[in-house]
Amino acid sequence: MLIPPILSAPLHMIPIPLIERICRLMFGRIAKAHPGLFERLDEHREKRFAFLPTDLPLAFVVVPGKQEISVLRQPVDIVADAVTEAPLFLLLGLMEGRCDADALFFSRDLSVTGDMEAMLAMRNALDASNIDLQKDLAKLAGPFAPIARRVIGEVRDRALKDQMKPAGEAAAWN
Amino acid sequence: MELICPAGTPAAFHEAVDAGADAVYCGFRDETNARNFPGLNFSREELRESIAYAKRKGTQTFVALNTFMRAGSEEIWYKGAADAVALGADALILADFGLMAHVAEKYPQQRLHVSVQASASNPDAINFLVDAFNAQRVVLPRTLTIADIARIGKNIRCEMEVFVFGGLCVMAEGRCSLSSYATGKSPNMNGVCSPASHVRYRKDGGELVSELGEFTINRFPAGEAAGYPTLCKGRFDIADSNGYAFEDPVSLDVMGELEALKAAGVKALKIEGRQRGKAYVAEVVSTMKAALNSPPERRAPLLARLRSMSEGQKTTSGAYEKRWR
């Protein structure tokens, strides 16, 4: 499931500092809900991890050890140790461990470049963390939390349904 | 037949148990097991909690200590065995004969399984391990036909476990030196096949290029399903041709041969994939459990959905159904 251009287009106009502020709020909320989130990163904690949603005009660079997140406008020459590219909903699915990174790599929906040790450690840290964006982020909506929870849940269910596509009969070999 | 399922993290462990695994196998976060990848595996405390969870649900836990001990550093493996026993592991999966001897002597009541990494693939080798170390189960390599497995089963004095789904290693496991040749590290000694420290992916036009050390493993054109950067599944220029020298990027699936495996005397079916995410574990284990509980004619449609999660998005019965000899 891709973000339709009609929804991603306004992101060209919204000031980066505003987007960055929202992202930091969400990052802080997730880090608070999962204090051991990056424990598995070991020596990779201070590295720069870039996440590039292929259906958004934005890029996100995270330094887990400093709990830092910065937002850049794409296209941009990213300075990072490891770079992951995939549609936004797949990146979010990976964050929650609801998608399998290897399967997305095999299907070419996800691409990774740079430091593969750091990338693997990040993948495993996220997979082990039990992040639940519906639960973790809905609270940010204050009195509208129940509505936010329902909307996040519905969008997520739809995105995950789209992701599990059969490979077809031609995939049998031997 | 028992379903033996992989877990690389406590979260995946819970998924495997909840999806109906009869046993879950896992390892410590160090070089004592053959999936020693960054950020993967269990601390002692995580294993304690996971074993307790499994026991509450009636699921067994097998702990893999299936690398070969380094001379002078045996204590790392001995400590792993001592901790796994103390934490209540139902079985230890071992490859090194020295470690088997140590466990058999120190913990005679502990159930001992022979890892596929031990390369025990004929009755003489297996019965030696049964007699010498009281091994109660052997995990057979993925290089045998079902007829081979049946012949072995008739002549050994322990249970047989075979891989039925997941990564397909086509080499003599525990003896393969391809990764060592390319990187200096191996699954046998360091717990890593194609270590991430030596893997590089890059884009070249529309192609995805995978490299291991100084070797180009593959160039996947746009739209072609990708595979792991392992030498045994690399596409190489050989003389005047370009192709796969050993095996294609493909995963194992012999669930279509369940009846034959049962008739061959197989006691347990193993799913490969401790390095995979919890989503994979949940999907594969629940699908395999459903397939095991279904009549043969209903298994294929159930299992077809798993191909999209497989290496190269393809599956094969590999050597189990060898047709080319």
Q: In what order do the strands lie in the sheet containing A82-86? A: A68-73, A58-63, A49-53, A82-86, A111-114
Among B195, B210, B244, which residue terminates a domain?
B244
From the list B251, B175, B245, B189, the residue with the least C-alpha distance to B215 is B245
By C-alpha distance, the chain A residue nearest B249 is A106
CB contact under 8 A, A167 and B200: no
pLDDT higher than threshold 70 for residue A167: no
Measured between CB atoms, which of A107, A116, A128 is closest to B313? A107
Q: Examine residue B284 and state whether it is found in any structural domain, yes or no.
A: yes
**B310 part of contact set with chain A, CB < 8 Å:** yes
Instruction: Look at residue A154 in the predicted model and tell me its pLDDT.
Output: 85
- How many other C-beta atoms lie within 10 A of the C-beta of residue A56? 18
Does the structure show a pLDDT above 80 at B323? no
The verdict on B206 and B283 lying in the same domain is no
The answer to whether position B279 is within a domain reads yes
Q: CB–CB of A124 and B9 under 8 A?
A: yes
pLDDT at A155: 82
Same domain, B14 and B53: yes
Asked if residue B182 is part of any domain, the answer here is: yes
Where do the structural domains in chain A lie, given as residue ranges? 5-131
pLDDT at A96: 94
Amino acid at A137: L
Regarding whether B212 and B82 lie in a shared domain, the answer is no
The last residue of a domain, from among B213, B244, B275: B244
**Chain A residues near residue B283 by CB distance under 8 angstroms:** 100, 164
* Whether the Cβ atoms of residue B284 and residue B167 lie closer than 8 Å to each other: no
CB contact under 8 A, A120 and B201: no
Specify whether B137 is located in the same domain as B157. Answer: yes
Could you identify the residue written with the tokens 């990708």?
B226
If asked whether residues B203 and B257 sit together in one domain, one would say no
Asked whether residue B198 falls in the same domain as residue B112, the answer is no
Which pLDDT does position A148 carry in this prediction?
84
Residues of A in contact with B220 (CB under 8 A): 108
Place of tokens 């992701």: A163
- Boundaries of domain holding B70: 2-168+250-321
Last residue of a domain, one of B218, B244, B270: B244
d(Cα B236, Cα B218) in Å, to the nearest integer? 7
- DSSP 8-state assignment for residue A99: S
Instruction: Specify whether B47 is located in the same domain as B79.
Output: yes
Assess whether pLDDT exceeds 80 at residue A102. Answer: yes
Whether B8 and A165 lie within 8 Å, measured CB to CB: no
Q: What is the CATH number of the domain that holds B128?
A: 3.20.20.70
Which CATH code, of 3.30.1050.10, 1.10.10.410, 3.40.50.970, 3.40.630.30, is assigned to A5-131?
3.30.1050.10
Task: Assess if residue B173 is contained within a domain.
Answer: no
Smallest Cβ distance to B11: which of A111, A119, A128?
Answer: A128
Of the pLDDT bands very low, low, confident and very high (cuts 50, 70, 90), residue B288 is very high
User: Are B289 and B16 within 8 A, CB to CB?
Assistant: no
Could you tell me if B58 and B24 lie in one domain? yes
CB contacts of B227 in chain A (<8 Å) are 106
Residues from chain A that touch B9, judged by Cβ atoms under 8 A, are 124, 127-128
Tokens found for residue B309: 């999660």
B227 lies in some domain: yes
Task: Note whether A124 contacts B196, CB cutoff 8 Å.
Answer: no
Q: Which residues of A touch B37 (CB under 8 A)?
A: 120, 124
The structure tokens listed for B68 are 């070969």
Instruction: Say if B208 falls within a structural domain.
Output: yes
Same domain for B74 and B156? yes
B209 near A CB under 8 A = no
At B155-182, the pLDDT tens digits run 999 999 999 999 998 888 899 999 999 9
Cβ <8 Å between B39 and A97:
no
Q: Is there a single domain that holds both residue B196 and residue B113?
A: no
Q: What is the pLDDT of residues B103-127, one digit of tens each?
A: 999 999 999 999 999 999 999 999 9
The answer on pLDDT for B192 being more than 80 is: yes
A12 and A58 in contact (C-beta within 8 Å)?
Answer: no
> Closest by alpha carbon to B4, among B320, B279, B281, B252?
B281
Q: pLDDT tens across B6-61, in order?
A: 999 999 999 999 999 999 999 999 999 999 999 999 999 999 999 999 999 999 99
**Cross-chain Cβ contact B275/A102 below 8 Å:** yes
B113 and B209 belong to one structural domain: no
Dihedral sign of CA atoms A145, A151, A157, A162 in order: negative
Q: Is residue B321 predicted with pLDDT exceeding 70?
A: yes
Look up the ipTM and state it: 0.93
- Residue B30 three-state SS: coil
Within a domain: B106: yes
Listing DSSP states for B62-98 in one string gives EEEE-SPPPTT-HHHHHHHHHHHHHHT-SEEEE--HH
- Confidence category of residue A170, pLDDT binned at 50, 70, 90: very low
Give me the number of domains chain B comprises. Answer: 2
Is the same domain home to B201 and B314? Answer: no
In a domain? residue B94: yes
Q: Does the pLDDT at position A37 exceed 90?
A: yes
**β-pairing, B199-204 with B207-212?**
antiparallel
Averaged pLDDT of chain A? 89
DSSP letters, B142-198, are TT--HHHHHHHHHT-SSEEEEEEEEE---S-TTT--HHHHHHS--TTTTS-SS-GGG
Mean pLDDT (chain B) is 95
Answer yes or no: do B313 and A129 touch at CB < 8 A.
no
